[in-house]
Amino acid sequence: MAGRYSESLIDEVLHSNDIIDIISEYVNLKRTGRNYKGLCPFHTEKTPSFMVSQDKQLYHCFGCGAAGNVINFIMNIENLDFIDALEFLAEKAGINIEQYKENNGNQEIYIKKQKLYEINRQAAIFFYKNLTKNDNEGIRYLKKRGLNIETIKKFGLGYAINDWEALNKYLLAKGYSQKLIYEAGLVIKREKSSGYYDRFRNRVIFPIISTTKKILGFGGRVLDDSIPKYLNSPESLIFNKRNILYGLNLARSELGKERKLILVEGYMDVIALYQYGIKNVIATLGTALTANHGELLKRYCDEVIIAYDSDTAGESATIRGLDVLNEVGCKVKVIKLDRNMDPDEYIRKNGKDSFLEKIKNALPLLDYKIELIKKKYDLSLNEGKIHFLQESIEIIKKLIKSPVEREIYVKKLSKETDVPANVINSEIYGNNKFKKDYKSKKNNYNDVRRLVHLKPVKSVLKDGLVEIEKKIIALCMISKTEYDKIKSHITEEDFSNLLLRNIFSVLGKKYEEDKKIDINLFIDELDIEEAKMLRGIIKNLLPYEDIDKTICELTLSLKRFNIDKKIKSIKNEIKLLEKQENKRKGDVVRINELCGELRRLIEMEKKLMEG
């Protein structure tokens, strides 16, 4: 990202995208009272519990807890990160996002990017038509690899015919400049003469699509003996292999509750697994996994499962990938395929169920590394055991901080080598294991103590008051009889929390209309935040043995809290006025008024305590 977007862009996006319009594209919403309702798109339900407020521009599901504004909704429904969701909605509203960049990004660059996206889109259409309009080497190759027409369409696959200038002539005829076609990486300058020729010729084409559905570039697989076998678009204003993962545009919608992504090496691995129904799969573009890839993966998933080729090169790439992902904080596992097989070959030979079993049995990062070390040495020899233990211990010390986890792996190594666990522990911790553990625990304890002393203390009065008000609302919900009893002691003005005050007010109006309250119809009369508050109250409703006694105690407590609050406020104001050296006549009068009000409140509090 060239620069962060300003707060003004976020405000403009929120202002320009009405939440009802956006959510209605995904959910069938019906107006109910002040809000809109529908079936939640984030979990399965039969009765609508998904509420959207047009006034507040917020949504909340009372079933699964999903909530937020229109940006949050797009992030969740489209599986986009914040920036992508922001750009998605900005484009939808026709907002020029470049002018909102904090670094005041160049407007010309923005316009050029849009042109490059357009050119790539036209190129993708051209390649797709070449593939599907008649019998050709490209379609024969893909069918031979087991792909059906639905999969070909889903990935927008194409074919670059064996012609030096077919695409270039097509794009020039569309009105695009030669300079921009060249900058898109679709053509190459001739060395010995003027002019340009197509970069992709006699190749199956794989469009590389962003999560916001823009075509960033292309990959091409040769159909003859030409070199290289795979060819990607060159780096450009819109194409950077270090920041792109092939298939993420589709996989982000297939993560499931476990939020897992399967990382493979090639285009065909992604496509084959997808066709077999394993759709949470992505690939790097023929490059080593970078930290940028790792950060991108971390945005979308909680766990990455690496399924690289099972040959030596694949194992080396896996180790590099594991280290990169581990460094950025991703949870990582590794699938072990049969020798010299890639995921595409494996699933075509063994089927989906077998591959799912491989996923189920994927090895955690440390287990995989220990397995590779074990392959290097003969554990029947003492020398082999020593080298195996030394290398394994170094990895354990580097990757595991938890003493419990370390002990588990120590026992595993002990079993593998017949070396006692205490001996392996001495290698890991040295002779001061217990001293170090004690020191670590002591430091942690002191850190916690410091945090406790630094942590702001919440007002017990404020928290206690809100809880009392919630309990009063809960009692009001039981029946009109309880509401009337409570109403005889307090009014809505006694509520300090504005949400609860409004709930109490609306509840009174509903009881005037009917003696019984339909909770769902009542909630429809509330604001979304009020509805959320009420749902929480009802969910945590507890039975009371003596309702009348409880009503008296709660209303009395509420009045006392309010009186205490007023007394403290008056005392503070009196102190401030008394500190003034040159008091005006009005100040003296005000002090006398406050003292009178203070005496009245103290007398009220005394009567409440006696009564």
CATH of the domain at 44: 3.90.580.10
Do residues 365 and 397 both lie within one domain? no
Reading the block at residue 66, the tokens are 């999903």
Average pLDDT, stretch 271-297? Answer: 89
* Whether 232 and 317 share a structural domain: no
Q: Which residue has the higher pLDDT, 309 or 303?
A: 303
Task: Return d(Cα 427, Cα 433) in angstroms, integer.
Answer: 10
460 pLDDT more than 50: no
Partnered with residue 30 across adjacent β-strands are 37
Element (H, E) at 293: helix 291-300
The answer on pLDDT for 545 being more than 60 is: yes
Q: What is the pLDDT at residue 101?
A: 62
DSSP 202-233: SEEEEEEE-TTS-EEEEEEEESSS-S-SEEEP
**Beta partners for residue 187, in sequence order:** 198
Higher pLDDT, 209 or 323: 209
* Last residue within a domain, chosen from 100, 118, 145: 100
Which whole number is the average pLDDT over 546-575?
A: 84
Of 405 and 280, which is predicted with more confidence? 280
Residue 6 CA from chain centroid, whole number = 21
Mean pLDDT value of segment 452-477: 62
Residue 594 pLDDT > 90, yes or no?
no
Average pLDDT over residues 12-37: 89
pLDDT class of 586 with cuts at 50, 70, 90: confident
Residue 365 CB-half CA count within 13 A: 20
Ramachandran quadrant class, 65 (left: phi over 0; alpha: psi -120 to 50; beta: rest): left
The reply to whether omega before 364 is within 30° of 0 (cis) is: no
| Same domain? 470 vs 606 | yes
Structural domain boundaries enclosing 324: 248-369
CB atoms < 10 A from the CB of 336, how many? 15
| 204, 324: one domain | no
pLDDT in tens, 48-100: 989 998 888 899 988 888 889 999 999 888 878 788 888 889 888 888 776 66
% of the chain surpassing 70 pLDDT: 89
Q: What pLDDT is recorded for position 185? A: 96
Other beta carbons within 10 Å of 124? 19
* Residue where one domain finishes, among candidates 422, 454, 486: 454
Q: How confident is residue 175, by pLDDT bands cut at 50, 70 and 90?
A: very high
In a domain, 2, yes or no: no
Question: Could you tell me if residue 191 is inside a domain?
Answer: yes
Average pLDDT over residues 346-363: 94
Ranking 341-355, 536-550, 567-581 by mean pLDDT, the lowest is: 536-550
The type of residue at 514 is: D
Residues 524 and 476 in one domain: yes
Side-chain-side CA neighbours of residue 13 (13 Å): 25
pLDDT of residue 438: 34
Specify the CATH number for the domain of residue 274: 3.40.1360.10
Looking at the predicted structure, is the pLDDT value of residue 314 above 80? no
Are 321 and 218 found together in one domain?
A: no
Phi, psi values for residue 206, rounded to 5°: -115, 105
Residue 450 pLDDT exceeds 50: no
Strands 260-264 and 281-283: parallel
Task: Assign 3-class secondary structure to 419-477.
Answer: CCHHHHHHHHHHHHHHHHHHHHHHHHHHHHHHHHHHCCCCCHHHHHHHHHHHHHHHHHC
pLDDT at 226: 82
Report pLDDT for 313.
Answer: 64
When the pLDDT of each residue in the chain is averaged and rounded to a whole number, the result is 84
The answer to whether residue 459 is domain-embedded is no
Looking at per-residue pLDDT, the higher value among 246 and 309 belongs to 246
- Domain count within the chain: 5
Q: How would you classify residue 174: left for phi > 0, otherwise alpha for psi between -120 and 50, otherwise beta? A: alpha
User: Would you say residue 192 lies in a domain?
Assistant: yes
CB 66 within 8 A of CB 40: yes
Domain end marker among 337, 369, 401 = 369
Residues 402 and 357 in one domain: no
Q: Highest mean pLDDT: which of 162-176, 334-348, 487-501?
A: 162-176
Whether 27 maps to a domain, the answer reads yes
Quick one: pLDDT at residue 449?
28
535 with 508, same domain? yes
Q: Is the pLDDT of residue 106 over 60?
A: no
Q: Which are the contacts of 134, defined by CB distance < 8 A and separation ≥ 6? A: none
* Residues 29, 37 contacting (CB under 8 angstroms): yes
- Identify whether residues 469 and 529 lie together within a single domain: yes
Same domain, 234 and 295: no
Q: What is the pLDDT of residue 538?
A: 77
* Residue 109 predicted with pLDDT over 70: yes
- Determine the pLDDT at residue 543: 64
Same-domain status, 323 and 342: yes
Phi-psi region of 340 (alpha: psi -120 to 50; beta: other; left: phi over 0): left
Residue 355 scores a pLDDT above 90: yes
Average pLDDT of the residues in 504-513: 88
Tell me, yes or no, whether 322 lies in a domain. yes
- The mean pLDDT of 405-427, rounded to a whole number, is 89
* Cα R_g (the chain), whole angstroms: 34
At 257 the pLDDT is 66
Q: pLDDT tens, 428-449?
A: 876 544 334 434 433 433 332 2
In this structure, of 106-110, 153-157, 315-319, 367-371, the range with the lowest mean pLDDT score is 106-110
Return the pLDDT at 7.
76
Give pTM, 2 decimals: 0.62
Q: Which of 112-126, 161-175, 474-488 has the lowest mean pLDDT?
A: 474-488
Match 């203390």 to its residue by tokens: 457
Give the Cα separation of 104 and 341 in Å (integer): 50
Residue 1 lies in a domain: no
Structure-block tokens of residue 516: 């019984």
Mean pLDDT of 366-387: 89
Does residue 104 carry a pLDDT above 70? Answer: no
Higher pLDDT, 315 or 294: 294
Section 350-358 average pLDDT? 95
Asked, for residue 555, whether it belongs to a domain, the answer is yes
- Across the range 507-534, mean pLDDT stands at 83
Mind listing the pLDDT tens digit for each residue in 415-424? 989 989 888 8
Over 50: is that where the pLDDT of 13 sits? yes
User: 544 pLDDT band (50/70/90 cuts)?
Assistant: low
pLDDT of 145 reads 93
Same domain, residue pair 468 and 581: yes
Report pLDDT for 478: 82
Which residue would you say has higher pLDDT here, 151 or 422? Answer: 151
How far is the C-alpha of 390 from the C-alpha of 128, rounded, in Å? 55
- Per-residue confidence band for 186, with pLDDT thresholds at 50, 70 and 90: very high
Read off the pLDDT of each residue in 229-257 and give the average, rounded to a whole number: 88
